[in-house]
Amino acid sequence: MPATDHTLDQILDLAATHFRVPREKLSADDDFFKTLGIDSLQALDLLTRLEHHFRIELPDYELQGVSDFRTLANRIQARL
Amino acid sequence: MNDFRGQTLSWQIVNGAIELALHRDPCNEIGSLTLEELERFAAALPGLANEAQALIVHSTLKAGFSAGADLRELFQRGEEMEKGAALRGVREFLKRIHSVMNTLDAAPLTTIAAVHGVTFGGGFELALVCDIIIADRMARFCFPELRLGLIPGFGGIPRLKRDLGNAVVRDLLLTGRSFNVMKAQQIGLVSQIAAEGEALRVARATASQVGKFDRRTAATAKEFVKPIPYAELDREIDIFCDLYSRPAVEDGLRKFVENEGVQPYLP
């Protein structure tokens, strides 16, 4: 399910705030591991924050192979 | 010994509660050194319990409570030893860690796990021996062992079966997915959720509360409501060792240990 711009914006805002990266440096098709400089444990931290923010449950296996914000947003949109 | 400062963990008595702090970088992986120090704690527990009303287990590391068994050590031991000897070593390790876990499970005082961040595998199993789990809002739980071709080996399945509904246990075990505190509280695993960074403070407040009650009554009530599934725990060791003998496990461990990418903790 394609994510709405609103969902994508919220993800980028949250990632920028928590990982202290300027918001303008983040875009939908960025590899979030590289752009945020995070490893898998920090990715799980991001996942937890997103689950709390959107009040959803997103099993981590749905993130297998996912590394860009747009696909992440699509996975979240499918749970909203 | 009322206080101890080891390489992987420390303990002290604070305001009538024993505080067992895990501090082995990077995320309290449980290997032979942690086991030795846990055994030391288990041996000291009867004496400590005379002077405290509760036990709090927590981690001082930012990454989390514990990422579980030390898979690098498990893999390296398997590589260095002949297969029969490696298997005997695994069985011996499991018997020793089960003995520690059973001692904590049956401790004659109220035990509280104050968890945050990664609480995976053996770390999750350590939390499960405690009477009450208090979780930081950012805690995340997981039994990832099936990804390696194994089952949890530190007593996780029998204790999950004791504490939760079987359908939930199957979901967590067979998908190997991680889940957050909201889910953990919903399924009855976590009794209290603390704000980020506040789990230890909440655990201390809870320890203070349980300290108001008669110790003998509390210990009797605990023994009545919290049976220890010894037969299933022994069976778990046998199943783990049967599975460990298969080549698929060596491949799974090698894949994890040699993974230099950023996603070893993602499925």
Q: Tens of pLDDT along B74-119? A: 888 888 888 889 899 999 999 999 999 999 999 999 999 999 999 9
Query: How many angstroms separate the CA of residue B231 from the nearest CA in chain A?
Result: 32
Predicted confidence at residue B41, as pLDDT, reads 98
At residue B264, does pLDDT exceed 70?
no
Quote the ipTM score: 0.87
User: For residue B64, what are its two tokens?
Assistant: 């989390």
Q: How far, in Å, CA of A53 to CA of A39, rounded?
A: 21
Q: How far, in Å, CA of B238 to CA of B48, rounded?
A: 33
Least confident of B62-71, B76-85, B193-202: B76-85
Using a CB-CB cut-off of 8 Å, the residues of chain B touching A45 are: 117, 138, 140
Predicted confidence at residue B178, as pLDDT, reads 94
Using a CB-CB cut-off of 8 Å, the residues of chain A touching B179 are: 57, 59
Using a CB-CB cut-off of 8 Å, the residues of chain A touching B140 are: 44-45, 47-48
CB of B152 within 8 A of CB of B232? no
Query: How many angstroms separate the CA of residue A4 from the nearest CA in chain B?
Result: 25
Predicted confidence at residue A4, as pLDDT, reads 85
Question: pLDDT tens digit string along B214-235?
Answer: 999 999 999 999 999 999 999 9
A5-77 carries CATH number 3.40.640.10:
no
Contact A38 B262 (CB under 8 A): yes
At residue B176, does pLDDT exceed 90?
yes
User: For residue B127, what are its two tokens?
Assistant: 């939390």
Predicted confidence at residue B260, as pLDDT, reads 60
Which helix (H) or strand (E) is B187 found in, with range? Answer: none
Per-chain mean pLDDT for chain B: 93
Selection from B200, B192, B220, B113 nearest residue B159 by Cα: B113
By the 10 Å C-beta count (0-12 exposed, 13-18 middle, 19+ buried), A47 is classed as buried
At residue A26, does pLDDT exceed 70?
yes
Query: B18 or A65: which carries more pLDDT confidence?
Result: B18
- Domains of chain B (ranges; CATH) run 4-257 (3.90.226.10)
Question: pLDDT tens digit string along B240-263?
Answer: 999 998 888 888 888 888 876 545
- B137 lies within 8 A of chain A by CB: yes
Question: pLDDT tens digit string along B145-159?
Answer: 998 889 999 999 999
In percent, the amount of chain B with pLDDT more than 90 equals 84
Predicted confidence at residue B229, as pLDDT, reads 97
Strand partners, B19: B12, B56
Question: pLDDT tens digit string along A33-65?
Answer: 999 999 888 889 999 999 999 999 999 999 888
Selection from B34, B42, B60 nearest residue B1 by Cα: B42
pLDDT band at B267 (very low <50, low <70, confident <90, very high): low
- In Å, what is the CA distance from B133 to each residue of B145, B217, B242? 21, 21, 31
Predicted confidence at residue A1, as pLDDT, reads 66
> In this structure, are strands B140-142 and B178-180 parallel, antiparallel, or unpaired?
antiparallel
Predicted confidence at residue B153, as pLDDT, reads 96
Question: pLDDT tens digit string along A59-74?
Answer: 999 988 899 999 999 9
Strand partners, B117: B64
Contact A51 B182 (CB under 8 A): yes
Predicted confidence at residue B243, as pLDDT, reads 93
Residue of A35, A38, A44 to mutate, testing the B interface (most B Cβ within 10 Å of its Cβ): A44
- B146 lies within 8 A of chain A by CB: no
Q: Taking residues B183-190, report their average pLDDT.
A: 96
Domain layout of chain A by residue ranges: 5-77
